[in-house]
Amino acid sequence: MPDRSNPSSKKRKGGAKYGKQASRVAIESGDAIEGTENRGEEDEDTDDEDIEAQIRRELEGLQPGKDKTRQFQPVQMDMPCVTFMRLDPSIDPVQLVHRLCSEAHAHPETKKSRWIKRMHPVTSIRKTLSVDLTTFAKEILKPHFHSGGPPKTYAIRPTVRGNSKLNRDIIIKTVADAVGPEHPVNLKNYDLMILVDVAQNVIGMSVVQGDYDKLKRFNLAEIYDPSPKAEPADTATESKA
């Protein structure tokens, strides 16, 4: 869940290798979003470079420096196959993830990640034990649904991991009530998708654009190498005499 000042999670494969690569990929796209370029720190990875050497070099590059602000910080949490990233408040996590996935969709041949799978941007997070879900939802939804303009269609997609207090039904009903009846639900052709991620005792929420499914639900692995569609089974028919 990338969040501006709190932990963000991205599903990953490859153990500790992932967190370092996520920071490198995010910094590349973050520089583009902010309109700056760190030409003196350009990544010099090659396909032939030993992966251990890549990881070692990336680790060295992530060491805090006196005149270097760390915009992306891995946060350790005891969740298999999920890594959390803390983002600088100046970076919009939704914009960042959308930019990464849009670039990957437009140029899948320029693969920039080996271990990252699905990314979950969150605008803000709360503790599940103390959260008022209705108030939290209205805060996140206001710029998108309650700031004027015509009605928008929407869908809600909750993900719950390791939490027994909140479930999908509670989340969907509470968030839908917070959106209000003036905005119709459309599960396929939505204008906006509301993402709600619950991971243990933390809940994060964000609103993303209508190309969420087109961008494979922000799954970089699927964007780069789409899974083959299942072929329809042949149907055998027998003619009657």
Model confidence pLDDT, tens digit, residues 49-96: 555 565 566 556 656 555 556 777 877 777 777 888 888 888 899 999
Round to whole Å and give the CA distance between 193 and 140: 12
Residues 144-165, mean pLDDT to the nearest whole number: 94
Which pLDDT score, from 0 to 100, does residue 188 have? 94
- The count of residues in the chain is 241
Helix or strand run (H / E) with residue 167:
none
Mean pLDDT for all residues in the chain = 79
8 A C-beta contact, residue 88 and residue 18:
no
Q: Give the residue carrying structure tokens 């990929």.
A: 25
Confidence band of 2 (pLDDT split at 50, 70, 90): low
- To the question of pTM greater than 0.75 for the whole model, the response is no
Helix or strand run (H / E) with residue 93:
helix 93-106
Query: Domains of the chain by range and CATH?
Result: 1-121 (no CATH), 124-220 (3.30.2300.10)
Which pLDDT score, from 0 to 100, does residue 35 have? 42
Round to whole Å and give the CA distance between 97 and 218: 7
Residue 68 per-residue DSSP state? B
Round to whole Å and give the CA distance between 24 and 210: 27
Structural Rg of the chain based on CA atoms: 20
Which pLDDT score, from 0 to 100, does residue 89 have? 87
- Say yes or no to pLDDT of 225 above 70: yes
Lowest mean pLDDT across 27-31, 179-183, 226-230: 27-31
Round to whole Å and give the CA distance between 28 and 43: 9
